Amino acid sequence: MIYDTLIKSNPYTTEWEPWIAKNFTVGNYTHPIYGQRTKVKVTLRTDVTWNDGSPLTTADVYFTFVELKRLLEKYGYPPPSWIENVESILDFKVLDPYNFEILFNVTKNFWVLSWIGNTPILPKHVWKPIILSGNPTNFAPDPNMIGCGPWRLKDYTRSSIELVANKPCSKVQTNLPGSQLIHSPYGFFKFYPLYVDMHFQGFGHKIDPFIETVPYKVTLQNLIMEEMIVESANVDLSNPISSIWNETWPTYTKYSLVDWKDGNDDKRLSKGDTVALIPVKEEPTVPPMPEWYNVEILLFMPPGPVVMRLSPVIVGIKRLFLDDVLLEELQLILKSNVTHQQERYYWPTAGKHTLKLAFHMEEPNWNNWNLYCKWVNYTLIFWVTLKEDIAGSSLYDDIGLPNYPYKSELPSPDIKVDIKDIATAAKAFGTYPGHKYWNPVADINCDYRIDIKDIAAIAKRYGWH
C-alpha cells in the first residue's frame, strides 16, 4: 500500500495492466551467448514521484530488479523477499530515462509479467545509502517509509497500523525512531479522478532530429465510477431548469436542476445530456456550488415520475504547452468512460524540450476530496538528438535536481556527439547483458553486444551538434 508496482492485475479480467508503467510489451531478443530469450519493454509514466518529491525513473527500477540483489550479496546480507521474481533477470537495457527493457534468461514468457507485477519498486536514493553505510536488516531501516503508492505510514505499533492518504502537499512524520517530517509535494499520481497521458508514437523520449514530423497523443479520461438515481414527479423535459429532483439512490436528498446542456441537440432532456444540480437546503450557511452530472439513462413513463441515472462529469480547462509556449486552450466536459483523445504533430528541433498538459479541474467540487479549482499536470520531457548521443548530462540535471545522488548512473543526451560518447562506449567494449561492465546505452545498433560497430557508429557522427 506504500510501495507500488510497475503493473497490476485487473481483478475482473485477471489481465496485467499498466500502472507505474504507462505501456509494456513482451517479446524476444537474441543473446550473444544464450540465444533467444524473453524481454519486456516498459515505458514509465513521467508523473510518478516519491513522497519526498523525487521522480521515479528507470534508475529506481534498475536498482530494485538488478542492482539491489548484487549489493546485498556483496555486503553479506540476505536477498530481498522477492528474489524469486528477479532471479531469471540477466540485465537491463536502458533506452532513455523513462524507457527500458528487462532482459530475462528464460525462453518462455508465461511467468515474467507475474514476476514484474509482484515486485514493489524501491527509491534508489533512499535504499542504496542504507545498504552502503547502514544495515538493511534492522527494523525499519527507512524510518520515513518513503514510497510512491496511495498510502503513507503514520503510526505503527505491535497491534495496529495507521495509514494516511498520500495527498498532494501532505506532510507526514512516522512514529518510528529517527523519522523526519516528509513533505509529499505531488502526492499519489492517481489521487485526482482524472487520467492524464501524453506520449510520442512508440513511447520513446529520444527523437530523431531528421524525422520530418512526429505524432504524439494527448489523452484525458474521467475515472469516477460513482452513480446516483434521481426522480421528479413534475418536470418539463423541454425546459427542465429549476425543477426539483429527489435522489432515491444511494441516499435521499433533494436537488434543484439549475443548468442543462443539450448534448445531442434534440431540444429536450435526454440521455447524453449534462445537468447541474444544487442540494436544496432551507438555510444554507454557505451558498452551495452546482454539481455537474451526465445523464446515463433517462426513463419517462407518464403519468409516473421521470427517473434519471446520473454519473459525475469532470469540467475544466485543458492547456497544452511546448517549452512553456501555449499551444492550445480548450474547455472540456469529460463524461464517465468516454475518453478525450487527440493526435497532434511535432516538428523536431534539436535540443531538450518539454510538453506540458495542464488541466484546471473546476468540477467536481466535492469538498471531501478537496478537488475544487485544482490543477492536474503531466509533463513529458524529451530530447531531439542522434541515437549516437548517449552521454554528457543526466536526467536529474535536466529537470533541476542537481544534488540527486547517483545521478551519473542515469545519463541523458547533451545534444552533441563528442569524446564523452566514444569514451562511454569504449569503456563497455566487448560486453553483453549480464557482463560486469555492460552499459546498455552504448549498444547503438541494438544487437545486445558492444563492439566495433557501436564505436564506429559514434565516430561517424563525431562533432554533430
The band of 287, judged by pLDDT with boundaries at 50, 70 and 90, is confident
Which class is 7-184 in CATH?
alpha beta
Q: Does 370 score more than 80 pLDDT?
A: no
The mean pLDDT value of the chain amounts to: 91
Q: Does domain 392-460 sit in CATH 1.10.1330.10?
A: yes
Please state, in angstroms and as integers, the Cα–Cα distance from residue 69 to each residue in 82, 258, 439, following that order: 10, 61, 18
Average pLDDT over residues 198-206: 93
| Every domain of the chain and the residues it spans | 7-184, 192-377, 392-460
**Cα 419 to Cα 397: distance, rounded to the nearest angstrom:** 20
* pLDDT tens, position by position, 106-163: 987 778 999 999 999 999 999 999 999 888 998 999 999 999 999 999 999 989 999 9
Average pLDDT over residues 93-118: 89
Average pLDDT over residues 255-265: 92
- Who wins on pLDDT, 383 or 405? 383
**Cα 244 to Cα 268: distance, rounded to the nearest angstrom:** 17
Average pLDDT over residues 1-9: 96
Phi and psi at 352, nearest 5°, equal -95, 130
pLDDT of residue 432: 85
The band of 82, judged by pLDDT with boundaries at 50, 70 and 90, is very high
Which region among 49-58, 369-378, 428-437 has the lowest average model confidence (pLDDT)?
A: 369-378
Q: Whose grid coordinates read 514493489?
A: 120
Average pLDDT over residues 267-277: 93
Cβ contact 151:163 at 8 Å: yes
Cβ contact 350:413 at 8 Å: no
The pTM of this model reads 0.88
pLDDT of residue 219: 96
Sheet holding 99-104, edge to edge: 21-31, 35-44, 99-104, 89-96
**Cα 59 to Cα 94: distance, rounded to the nearest angstrom:** 9
- Who wins on pLDDT, 406 or 357? 357
The band of 93, judged by pLDDT with boundaries at 50, 70 and 90, is confident
Q: Does 418 score more than 80 pLDDT?
A: yes
Average pLDDT over residues 206-224: 93
